A = this chain, B = another copy of it.
Amino acid sequence: MSALPGVKALVFDTFGTVVDWRNGIARDAKTFLARHGRGDIDAHAFADAWRRRYQPAMEAVRSGARPFTRLDVLHRENLDGVLADHGIDPAGITAAELDWLNRAWHRLDPWPDAIPGLLRMRPKHFLAPLSNGNILLLANMAKRAGIPWDAILGAEAAQAYKPQPESYTRTAEILGLAPGEVALVAAHNGDLAAARRAGLKTAFVLRATEHGPNQTTDTHAEQDWEAVASSFEDLADRLGC
């Protein structure tokens, strides 16, 4: 008996839900900062500062102030700002090095339970990311880490950033499914709420340390999501996989 009866496709928030962005970005930022004589900067604080610019950058697209722009471009623009905030002039760094650091977002590691859980869910479900990451970012991440997606979906395929309703409904459309035959799996209540409003089913997976040891947000399911799980393996159990 599945907690998500009638659901044929599972689509996944990625940053935070499938992969541990904070430690991944901090790892490569640490290398970069040391190379530039700035080992004094805390790499996790640098990662957090970079991530804080994520929502405002997408908001410019969501509001219509700028046309759809893929996340690699937004990350790269945000990187210039974060470096400047830390007293590092990006103009003094080679484009190749900046691109290497920007692609740290392509090199994030999955949480330990993510791939084992996905492998169990895959025989019975179509699996795809529904992330604000662009196709190349998500595909490179999957190729490096061995994440078994059936297709790379998300903001770039839908040409709309979450939580805009089109990001969810167009994803269902691409899948040839009614919204209610698709479930979003996410560690973020806000993302799930927007998916539910768009007609999708919802599954919350707790990621209690996405933002580090003192996380205060998304520490529990804030609505009666169709499934609530403590890990991808636990979710696979609840789906009868």
Chain A: residues with CB nearer than 8 A to chain B? 72, 126, 128, 134-136, 138-140, 142-143, 150-153, 156-157, 174-176
Contacts and interface: CB of A to CB of B under 8 A. Distances in A.
A174 B151 contact: no
Contacts of A151: 135-136, 138-139, 151-152
Copies of the polypeptide in the assembly:
2
- The 8 tightest CB contacts between A and B, nearest first, are A139-B151, A151-B152, A139-B150, A136-B176, A143-B150, A135-B174, A135-B151, A136-B175
A136 B172 CA distance: 10
Contacts of A157: 135, 156-157
Contacts of A150: 139-140, 142-143
A136 B174 contact: yes
Contacts of A139: 126, 128, 150-151
A128 B151 CA distance: 10
A72 B176 contact: yes
B143 A126 contact: yes
A100 to B, nearest CB: 13
A138 B72 CA distance: 25
